[in-house]
């Protein structure tokens, strides 16, 4: 039996590197000719070093409708992260993909539940919804430790202001002494999920973030009566 041929790596040039928060960084590359993907899919990134390539799978944070690809990550001591964050404009990386089945079902209402850098598949989805003029009703629950830790906040707020179908609730574990805007203090817990589910029981629930967070959210969704047919999830590995 013939095995499926592994896709050839595609070369992409770095267009921009940007610091999003104190610990989070974004990199954009020009989309290679012929590369296509579905919103929120991932690719295997390969960065050449003298001792060999550094490899890591990362969710694409940008919409398929854009002419660039974007990723975001938190700083860490891993060899790949150090190499990734050392990239500069004009450098090149290889990518293989896309892959992944954590996909938007645009004809159904959605509840997006994100923790930290787990927001990246959802920025891909929300940008795609905006670019395509879709009418998907979306509620985003986005948990972070502090206001300063929120990647993509300005981008998300701009989308929400322009699209009444996108509602965002930021959930902050460590609030500032002087509140600057509305948010919920604490974590994305059972009380909050029950509150959301009371008006969105038929929505598709998408969960992405650190493994422990995803596990807890999945258990809670099941406990409050959301069926497995209405739940999609993606684990973000590599957290400290």
Query: What confidence tens digit (pLDDT) does each residue in 181-199 have?
Result: 778 999 999 999 999 999 9
CB 188 within 8 A of CB 142: no
Band (212; pLDDT cuts 50, 70, 90): very high
pLDDT for residue 236 is more than 50: yes
Q: What are the CA-CA distances from residue 10 to residues 95, 110, 159, 198 (Å)? A: 5, 33, 31, 46
CATH 3.40.50.80 in the chain, residues? 110-235
Q: Which fold has domain 110-235?
A: Rossmann fold (3.40.50)
- Percent helix / strand / coil, the chain, rounded to 5: 25, 35, 40
Rounded Cα distance between 73 and 23, Å, is: 8
| Exposed e or buried b per residue across 191-226, where buried means at least 16 C-beta atoms within 10 angstroms of its C-beta | ebbeebbeebeebbbbbbbbeebbebbbebbeebeb
Residue reference for tokens 């604490």: 186
pLDDT attached to residue 95: 95
Helix (H, G, I), strand (E, B) or coil at 129: helix
**CATH architecture for residues 10-99:** Beta Barrel (2.40)
Q: Which of 46, 72, 48 is nearest to 59 (CA)?
A: 72
pLDDT attached to residue 238: 47
Band (208; pLDDT cuts 50, 70, 90): very high
pLDDT tens-place string over residues 31-41: 999 999 999 99
pLDDT for residue 2 is more than 60: no
CATH 2.40.30.10 in the chain, residues? 10-99
pLDDT attached to residue 180: 67
Percent of the chain past pLDDT 70, that is, above it, reads 94
pLDDT tens-place string over residues 65-114: 999 999 999 888 888 888 888 999 999 999 999 999 999 999 999 999 99
pLDDT tens-place string over residues 142-185: 999 998 889 999 999 999 999 999 999 999 998 777 766 778 99
Q: What is the pTM of this model?
A: 0.91
Rounded Cα distance between 174 and 78, Å, is: 27
Mean pLDDT calculated for residue range 206-215: 94
Q: Which residues neighbour 139 within 8 Å (Cβ) at sequence distance 6 or greater?
A: 110, 111, 112, 167, 168, 169, 196, 200, 203
pLDDT attached to residue 240: 41
pLDDT attached to residue 67: 96
Q: What is the mean pLDDT of the chain?
A: 91
pLDDT attached to residue 176: 77
């Amino acid at each position: 039996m013939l095995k499926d041929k592994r896709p050839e790596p595609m070369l992409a040039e770095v267009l921009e590197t940007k610091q999003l928060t104190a610990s989070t960084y974004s990199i954009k590359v020009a989309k290679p000719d012929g590369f296509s993907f579905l919103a929120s899919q991932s690719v295997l990134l390969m960065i050449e070093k003298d001792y060999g390539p550094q490899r890591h799978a990362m969710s694409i944070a940008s919409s398929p409708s854009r002419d660039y690809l974007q990723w975001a990550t938190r700083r860490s001591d891993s060899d790949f992260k150090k190499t990734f964050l050392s990239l500069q404009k004009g450098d090149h990386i290889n990518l293989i993909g896309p892959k992944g089945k954590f996909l938007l079902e645009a004809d159904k209402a959605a509840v997006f539940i994100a923790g930290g850098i787990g927001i990246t598949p959802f920025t891909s989805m929300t940008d795609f919804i905006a670019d395509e003029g879709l009418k998907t009703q979306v509620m985003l629950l986005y948990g972070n430790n502090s206001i300063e830790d929120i990647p993509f906040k300005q981008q998300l707020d701009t989308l929400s202001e322009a699209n009444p179908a996108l509602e965002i609730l930021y959930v902050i574990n460590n609030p500032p002494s002087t509140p600057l805007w509305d948010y919920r203090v604490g974590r994305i817990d059972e009380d909050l999920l029950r509150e959301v589910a009371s008006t969105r029981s038929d929505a598709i629930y998408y969960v992405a973030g650190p493994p422990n967070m995803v596990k807890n959210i999945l258990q809670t969704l099941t406990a409050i009566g959301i069926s497995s047919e209405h739940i999609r999830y993606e684990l973000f590995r590599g957290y400290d």
